[in-house]
Amino acid sequence: MFTPKYPPPDTAPTTPTTPQRSATTAPVPAAQTSPTPGTNRPTVQLTPSSALALAAGGGAVVLVVGTVLVSLLLAVAITGVSVAVVAVVLRLLVKDLHKH
């Protein structure tokens, strides 16, 4: 029950089975065909509805990123104001303690 179950070993041959070349025939180099630039590239065609969807998606991304950045800036500003208020209160308390 607790003994591991191993899968059966592979039955594929371990030696490569490449055909042997004879010494009398010379290898023929493959013809190098390079496509001309721009002939086999897929083109992206935007229909009016896909362009509208792309613009709406980009606008949504801009709005989301803007909202996140504004909320982070607001959080930093609120934290700075609260630290300044605490500093003023502590200064007044320390000053009051030194007078008495």
Domain boundaries in the chain? Answer: 74-100
- Using the 8-state DSSP alphabet, how is residue 49 labeled? H
**What is the value of pTM for the model shown?**
0.46
Structure-token pair, residue 87: 């500093």
Band of residue 6 on the pLDDT scale cut at 50, 70, 90: confident
Band of residue 27 on the pLDDT scale cut at 50, 70, 90: low
pLDDT in the model for residue 38: 52
As a whole number of angstroms, the distance between CA 69 and CA 77 comes to 12
